[in-house]
Structure 1
């Protein structure tokens, strides 16, 4: 006896749904495919049975062949629409929906939905009886409910590997490859979280003709590249190779900017490389910001445009350090450091690219800071190590910014560049980008590299004589060279 799965419940349910709804289209599509599969199976069985004709066993009843009228044929939907409809169907508990799910389950071979879904059915039936008051009557009620259970992890892994295997086999026949990219693994927060995630996905690695490309930031991914030291970890057993992508060199940065910000001239490319440390994303951001400054301001000189960008970046960075420093413990004697940072921020808020004598003294005060000279021995001893490290980091960045201002904020850059390069490798402009990179490693090693650069360029390696013990108050916002646009006073009508 030959039986077929029924597509009629699917067509019945589809007829009850609104025209064009995902559930209606999904039921018609799957119903059509069940009916088509049944027709193919019946045709095969008929052909097989005909081979018995004329034999002693030829007296038999041929199976009923499914009809050819198929209302679902013209309503076949795409896989994404069918997937949405199946999700809606799995949420329903009425008898017709349950019957449709049972037919789909039998058609798909198990309980693995086509179109990427998986479901398990669990039917719960309850019965209750009661005797009424008065004339005795026995009342019995029955209820049934349907719920879906999430698939377990091994099933998900098996289904996903099977899917990848089929996709990869098809692409391989076309002489193409399957690459799955997992970007920004560092967003998990720590190297521990990233390694735990990598350990979780090991189960889906190793599918033939499927390649994984996993990216992680250097600060989190450093533990990935220990190469089995002191012991082998999950990265050694999961990844075929680990490629450390280094920051761009100056020449590489120039080539990137030539494609993404082609209007920048040579000095601006060097400046953006120095500010970004050769990180492509920051490199492009600074390049676009230079274009914006040029188009939206009246600045035209290299010295003014460069100083504007350097001072803007310094102001943003110091604002971040101020927030971090505000969370530390301070005393009346040590709080003068906060006042110094506040006054320097006030100088930068003026928005003028000119490096006035007041601004330079403020920058030198922080860049060449000396806690013992500024606070005294007893007050300096009150600074916790965490706070001291933050101050040293901020001071090193101010020194880096001051060096950029000295390089790009003065005229005749070409001549000064050649003179610095003639004094040794420390005069190479590429070292400015390396100094920016070193700031992310340690403020102390970065300060040493910046000092060698300043020596090659004949910049001062300490504060000017007569530097006051505190940062002077913020300068006047009015600048004769770069006056602010006039504002119109608003008066009530």
Structure 2
């Protein structure tokens, strides 16, 4: 049984013949049970009304998941103690204070009970003895709850007695979080509860207006980027894909650590946008500046700000001033309330405290004093206790600071170097030195000489800038890894695909590819489809800058039908599937257009209460027709007036006023009259674009009506999204695909 695999003692005879397979299956079963019991997965299962046994059965039978566990076991065995070890989290002063509070509470109770034991009646002795374990348990629970390091030490990654037999070692948490948990989410998504209907309703909306959302759809490209981050120590990777396919979102997800596929801390990510007009030297300097700033920010987040001697001197003087002010305040309040002279208040208080004999505290300090004296003693005790706590905190802070400084010397050295590098990049330093002299001579004459030498640091050449960047990037990667802060540096260059001319983009890559290949540094560059095509032609007689610069290409494809449905369902829980299909078809699966279409659908609900599918489709299609009709008219105005254009103009002007699907289909046929496959002719190209788009809108109106039932939501509707993509590439191909779709679905009968 699958459940028996989680117990390492349940070894059957056939398991002994392949012990490695048994350990992998046992480790997988244990990780599945652990993941399914986590609060996050429990909430997901409850939301989808999904039984745990169903998910567990699918995961245990997943051979790919089992292969990943076996591969990880082999890596753990091969690495041994050579693997990267993240830096231990520094103990905070707040945690130390809570630990001291817990210890003092326990010791205080023991001291009071010991001192008063001989004077207590029998009943109170029994009560105090029974309360002792309760007090010790309460103080221990307080320390464990407030001190994270103590809790981690007591429960180190949920280690159990059979953990060594699983062969995962310190990477168990990584296996649970990065291998098993994504598969669990995929299974839950595949079995998620679907909603059907032709009325636009949803429970709530999430992250529609935010591109930096943590809800990442696990596409094939995202999974490949995770694998690249896990395996590649250096190199350059091109992110390809058409506009709107999510290259910028992928880079931002890298920066936020959402695509990080390792148990190690998230990489240090530097993101720069490629300039439209550039100077290679200035761009490398810009990357160098961003890297310095990222290093300073990561070290500050990990170790906190550097505290020099000036900080300690300022803290001493501020503390001294606070002490004097507190003493003066206590003297002033106590002197006014104390039954004596103002100047005798400190002496009388000291004599009162000297008469105290533990454990008899109430008599001298409370019952034998008048009410004003009690208030004066209370104020004095409060100020004294406050300063005792502050002095203890200062001493503890000084010790912790000394320990942290010793353990982070390498990181602080890198921080200082980053500051120097940043200063050198931002400013041109000028140094002036000189000497002068004057000699008096008879008859009132003077002889003088002045010599001044001015030294200005010369600007570095492009090769020197590249060498400086490479040296600092390598030092950063080595230092951060040695300090356990992160195991690699990632430099992402975005918007290279927005450079209009391919030659300029290739020239930029040629000029900056000298910074590639730094050990411990991985580069991601967003490139155009043409660059991807040239890379895929490697090995032929064609070789260009992209082929020689990049080690591999990750192409971001538009969403599939299921990925678009999941994207919308994550942001609009409870939305009917009909509207998910509508969003996918109108956007063609492009993530950027899918977001815009979904936002437009939600905006319809502002003016229409629970609008129907026909209403939403009509509003979105009419808005699209109006916008595209303006674009077609603009293109036509830029063409030379010919009889063909004169004949086409009235048809283009009818586009925004045509509303019904049948009329749009007829208009599309009129626009297509006389069209040829020749896209070189601008009028023919305009004719093909306009007729294909109008026919697409007519088909969408025909399909997405209130009669669209669950049985008619088939994968073949994805062909409509493909036709939308073809509109931007080849309108003639889009026209043919739309006609094939209409014949197959017979929209006239819908």
Identify the TM-score tier after normalising by the shorter chain: 0.5 to 0.7
State the shift of 1:249 in Å.
0.8
Q: Are residues 172 and 214 of structure 1, via their aligned partners in 2, closer, same or farther at CA, if it must alter by over 3 Å? A: same
- 8 A contact 1:344–1:363 mirrored in 2: no
State the shift of 1:165 in Å.
0.7
User: In 1, distance between residues paired with 2:545 and 2:719?
Assistant: 36
State the shift of 1:221 in Å.
4.2
Which of these residues, 341, 345, 354, is aligned with residue 652 of structure 2? Answer: 341
State the partner residue of 1:117: 424
Which of these residues, 183, 193, 197, is aligned with residue 494 of structure 2? Answer: 183
User: In 2, distance between residues paired with 1:334 and 1:157?
Assistant: 54
Q: Deviations over 1:115-151 (max 9, x none)?
A: 45255769899xxxxxxxxxxx999998876655422
Which of these residues, 444, 448, 451, is aligned with residue 739 of structure 2? Answer: 451
State the partner residue of 1:196: 507
Q: Say whether residues 1:171 and 2:466 are aligned partners.
A: no
State the partner residue of 1:312: 623
The equivalences for 1:28-43 within 5 A come to none
Q: Are residues 446 and 384 of structure 1, via their aligned partners in 2, closer, same or farther at CA, if it must alter by over 3 Å? A: closer
User: In 2, distance between residues paired with 1:236 and 1:384?
Assistant: 30
Which of these residues, 659, 663, 667, is aligned with residue 361 of structure 1? Answer: 663
Q: Are residues 73 and 271 of structure 1, via their aligned partners in 2, closer, same or farther at CA, if it must alter by over 3 Å? A: same
| Greater alpha carbon shift after TM alignment, 235-244 vs 332-341 | 332-341
Which of these residues, 682, 688, 693, is aligned with residue 392 of structure 1? Answer: 688
Q: Are residues 318 and 148 of structure 1, via their aligned partners in 2, closer, same or farther at CA, if it must alter by over 3 Å? A: farther
Give the TM-score normalised by structure 2. 0.39
State the shift of 1:258 in Å.
1.8
Q: Say whether residues 1:150 and 2:452 are aligned partners.
A: no
Q: Say whether residues 1:285 and 2:614 are aligned partners.
A: no
User: In 1, distance between residues paired with 2:724 and 2:642?
Assistant: 32
State the partner residue of 1:3: none
User: In 1, distance between residues paired with 2:599 and 2:507?
Assistant: 38
Give the TM-score normalised by structure 1. 0.58
User: In 1, distance between residues paired with 2:592 and 2:687?
Assistant: 27
**Local SS of the residue matching 1:150:** coil
State the shift of 1:415 in Å.
6.8
User: In 2, distance between residues paired with 1:261 and 1:227?
Assistant: 44
Q: Deviations over 1:156-180 (max 9, x none)?
A: 1111111101111123332522111
Q: Deviations over 1:400-448 (max 9, x none)?
A: 111111111x331127826xx6xxxxx8111111111222221111111
- 8 A contact 1:268–1:306 mirrored in 2: no
User: In 2, distance between residues paired with 1:440 and 1:247?
Assistant: 13
Q: Are residues 261 and 416 of structure 1, via their aligned partners in 2, closer, same or farther at CA, if it must alter by over 3 Å? A: closer
- 8 A contact 2:532–2:553 mirrored in 1: no
Which of these residues, 574, 586, 608, is aligned with residue 297 of structure 1? Answer: 608
Q: Are residues 391 and 180 of structure 1, via their aligned partners in 2, closer, same or farther at CA, if it must alter by over 3 Å? A: same
Consecutive unaligned residues in structure 2, runs of 5 or more: 1-308, 315-418, 435-445
Q: Deviations over 1:99-118 (max 9, x none)?
A: xxxxxxxxxxxxx9544525
Q: Say whether residues 1:407 and 2:407 are aligned partners.
A: no
State the partner residue of 2:549: 238
State the shift of 1:218 in Å.
2.9
User: In 1, distance between residues paired with 2:311 and 2:573?
Assistant: 56
User: In 2, distance between residues paired with 1:288 and 1:71?
Assistant: 53
User: In 1, distance between residues paired with 2:639 and 2:433?
Assistant: 59
**Local SS of the residue matching 2:746:** coil
State the shift of 1:259 in Å.
1.8
- 8 A contact 2:588–2:721 mirrored in 1: yes
What is the Cα-based RMSD across aligned positions, in Å?
3.9
